[in-house]
Amino acid sequence: AVKAQGRGGFRFNTEELNQQAHRGLLIESRLRRAVQTGAFHLVYQPQWCMASGRLTGAEALLRWTDPVLGGIPPDTFIPIAEACGLMPALGDWVLAQACATLRQWRAAGWHDAEMAVNVSPRQLADEAFFRRLTGHLERHAIPPAALELEVTESTLMDSGPQPERIVGAVKALGMRVVVDDFGVGHSSLALLKRLAMDGLKIDRSFVRDLVDDEDDRQICAAILAMAKHLRLRVVAEGVETEAHWRLLRDMGCDRWQGYWRDGQPQPADAVLARALAH
């Protein structure tokens, strides 16, 4: 019976693996088409200053809706795009689009709007990346300090032999560079020191249980204390309740982002309307 069960379990797993592989291939082929037809759009998640309540800007987040597969989350399709070499082109489209939106916001009266954009390892390792980046900023007359690049630790580690040089080059252009999903990788502390980062985003896995989990509270407090000493700006992600917001504010967190107060990723117009309403 055990053997039969074992074999049954094995067969089931194989089938599941096959299905996953098949879905991966399907996503890849639809993705190739989507890059050609431009089936992507960006949504923008507001970021607020904790102390003043002011809307400071937004993070641009990529969305893909395929006519056959429906909506696919970026956590699913970005690694596939990365693996099959589509990410430099797609990532460049994201940057261009985010810069165009930022220009519109500023021209419409939100003069100090800031934009954060996620950058993938392949993009950072791409020689032409900086040239295109500079081109987007110039074309849209955006002050570089208004643009912030979000990189994860693995992004930096996969970007080639010299992350220092890459971050140095971005900063030399006047842009800010922050570590995304801080705390979930391997080498956060060494990286902050070595690469002279401008800030970090506390991963939402530390924010989620902040109210009930004393360990998570200690972790957030420690990150914030260290960030203050290193003069890093800290954004908390995944703020979903007033209790999250209050705890993080009292710990000295600079900015927040999350579903609380209708802070979900949303169309550019909606973010602009909220900024101008104040």
Choose the one of Mg ion, ligand C2E, none that binds residue 98, judging by a C-beta under 5 to 8 angstroms depending on kind: none
Near ligand C2E in 16-75, by CB under 6 A: 45, 61-62, 73-75
Q: Residue 213 contacts by C-beta under 8 Å, 6 or more apart in sequence?
A: none
Q: The tokens of 42 are what?
A: 């960006």
Specify the residue, 30 or 90, whose C-beta has the smaller distance to Mg ion. Answer: 90
From start to end of the chain, where are the E strands? 40-49, 55-66, 70-72, 114-118, 147-151, 176-182, 199-202, 233-236, 255-256
Q: How far is the CB of 180 from ligand C2E (least distance, A)?
A: 5
Q: How far is the CB of 183 from ligand C2E (least distance, A)?
A: 12
- Site size toward ligand C2E (CB under 6 A) is 24
Choose the one of Mg ion, ligand C2E, none that binds residue 265, judging by a C-beta under 5 to 8 angstroms depending on kind: ligand C2E
Specify the residue, 136 or 204, whose C-beta has the smaller distance to ligand C2E. Answer: 204
In this structure, are residues 71 and 63 in contact, taking their beta carbons and an 8 Å threshold?
A: yes
Choose the one of Mg ion, ligand C2E, none that binds residue 103, judging by a C-beta under 5 to 8 angstroms depending on kind: none
In this structure, are residues 174 and 145 in contact, taking their beta carbons and an 8 Å threshold?
A: yes
Residues in contact with Mg ion by CB under 5 A are: 118, 150, 180-181, 201, 203, 237
Residue linked to tokens 């705390």: 183
Number of H helices, E strands in the chain: 12, 9
Q: Is 183 in the site for ligand C2E (CB under 6 A)?
A: no
* Residue type, position 215, single letter: D
CA 164: distance to chain centroid?
20
3-state helix, strand, coil in the chain (%, to 5): 55, 20, 25
Q: Identify the CA nearest to 210 among candidates 224, 221, 225, 197.
A: 221
Q: Is 237 in the site for ligand C2E (CB under 6 A)?
A: yes
Cα dihedral 202, 205, 210, 214, rounded to 10, equals: -100
Q: How far is the CB of 42 from ligand C2E (least distance, A)?
A: 7
Specify the residue, 183 or 227, whose C-beta has the smaller distance to ligand C2E. Answer: 183
Provide the pairing of β-strand 40-49 with 55-66: antiparallel
Specify the residue, 149 or 166, whose C-beta has the smaller distance to Mg ion. Answer: 149
SS3 for 206? Answer: helix
Position closest to ligand C2E via CB: 258
Specify the residue, 18 or 264, whose C-beta has the smaller distance to ligand C2E. Answer: 264
- For 56, phi then psi, to 5°, come to -100, -25
Contact with ligand C2E (CB under 6 A) among 153, 181, 198, 254: 181
Contact with ligand C2E (CB under 6 A) among 34, 50, 80, 94: 94
Q: How far is the CB of 7 from Mg ion (least distance, A)?
A: 40
What is the C-alpha separation between 251 and 58, in angstroms, rounded? 22
Near ligand C2E in 139-168, by CB under 6 A: 150
Contact range with ligand C2E by CB under 6 A, out of 7-15, 22-30, 186-194, 238-246: 238-246
Residues that bind ligand C2E (CB under 6 A): 45, 61-62, 73-75, 78, 91, 94, 118-120, 150, 180-181, 204, 237-240, 257-259, 265
